[in-house]
A and B are shown apart, each in its own frame.
Chain A
Amino acid sequence: MDAPALEVENIGKKYQIGKLAPGFRTLREAITDAAKRPVKRTWSLLRGSAYGAAQLEEEIWALKEVSFKVGQGEVVGVIGRNGAGKSTLLRVLTRITEPTEGLARIRGRVGALLEVGTGLHHELTGRENIYLNGSILGMKRAEVNRKFDEMVDFAGIEQFLETPIKHYSDGMRVRLAFSVAAHLDPEILFVDEVLSVGDVAFQRKCVGKMGEVVGEGRTILFVSHNITAVRELCPRSILLDRGNLVFDGPTDETITRYLSDEVLSDGTQPDLRSGIWIIREYFRGVEQAGEGLVLDRGEPITCGVEIQTERVPDRAWLNLEVFSIGGVRLVDMRSDYDNVELDLKPGGTTMEVGIDELPLLPGTYSIRFRLLFDYGGQVRADAGREFPLLIRSTKEGEGKEQAFVYASHSWRRL
Chain B
Amino acid sequence: MMYFLAWRDIKLKYKQTILGASWAILQPFLAMLLFTLIFNKLIGLSSEGIPYPLFSYSGLVIWLFFANSVMQASDSLVAQANTVKKVYFPRMVIPVAAVGCNAVDFFLAFLVLIGMMVYYGSSPGLAVLMVPLFLILALTTVLGVGLWLSALNVLFRDVRHVVPFMIQMWLFASPIAYSSSFMADKNPIWGYVYGMNPMAGVVDGFRWALLGTEMQQPQVIIISSLVAVALLVSGAYFFKRTERVFADVL
Contacts and interface: CB of A to CB of B under 8 A. Distances in A.
A131 B155 contact: no
Nearest to B16: A123
A395 interface: no
A136 B87 contact: yes
A123 B12 contact: yes
For B11, B84, B88, the residue with the greatest tally of chain A CB atoms inside 10 Å of its CB is B88
A112 interface: yes
Contacts of B245: 97-98
Given A136-B4, A138-B1, A138-B89, 13 more contacts: A24-B157, A24-B250, A27-B156, A30-B156, A96-B84, A112-B88, A115-B86, A119-B83, A123-B12, A123-B16, A124-B11, A124-B12, A132-B4
Interface string A159-188: 000000000000000000000000000000
A250 B4 CA distance: 43
A398 B48 CA distance: 100
Nearest to B154: A24
A23 B78 CA distance: 12
Nearest to B11: A124
Contacts of A23: 249
A197 to B, nearest CB: 14
A57 to B, nearest CB: 14
Contacts of A138: 1, 89
A114 interface: yes
A138 B1 CA distance: 8
Given A25-B156, A27-B158, A97 B12 contact: no
B247 interface: yes
B8 A96 contact: no
A118 B86 contact: yes
A95 B248 contact: no
A135 interface: yes
Interface string A6-27: 0000000001000000011111
A94 B87 CA distance: 8
Contacts of A334: none
For B16, B83, B156, the residue with the greatest tally of chain A CB atoms inside 10 Å of its CB is B156
17 contacts: A23-B249, A25-B249, A26-B158, A94-B88, A97-B245, A97-B247, A97-B248, A118-B86, A119-B82, A119-B87, A121-B8, A123-B12, A123-B15, A124-B12, A135-B5, A138-B1, A138-B89
Contacts of B155: 24-25
A137 interface: yes
A47 interface: no
3 closest cross-chain pairs (CB), A and B: A118-B86, A135-B4, A97-B247
B85 interface: yes
A136 B80 CA distance: 12
A109 interface: no
A412 interface: no
A25 B155 CA distance: 6
B186 interface: no
A91 B87 contact: no
A117 to B, nearest CB: 9
A28 B154 CA distance: 15
Interface string A95-118: 111100000000000001011001
B1 A95 contact: no
Given A25-B155, A123-B12, A131-B4, A97 B86 contact: no
A131 B8 CA distance: 10
B101 to A, nearest CB: 13
B156 A114 contact: no
B86 A114 contact: yes
A136 B12 contact: no
Interface in B83-124: 83-89
B41 interface: no
A306 interface: no
B249 A95 contact: no
A128 B4 CA distance: 9
A85 B177 CA distance: 57
Contacts of A95: 88
Contacts of A30: 156
Interface in B56-70: none
A112 to B, nearest CB: 7
Nearest to B243: A98
A27 B244 CA distance: 19
Interface in A124-142: 124, 128, 131-132, 135-138, 141
A141 B4 CA distance: 9
B244 A97 contact: yes
A94 to B, nearest CB: 5
B4 A96 contact: no
B247 A91 contact: yes
A96 B83 contact: no
B244 A114 contact: no
A296 B84 CA distance: 54
Interface in B1-22: 1, 4-5, 8, 11-12, 15-16
Interface in B211-250: 244-245, 247-250
Nearest to B8: A132
A195 B140 CA distance: 45
Interface string B109-153: 000000000000000000000000000000000000000000000
A124 B8 contact: yes
A121 B88 contact: no
A91 B88 CA distance: 9
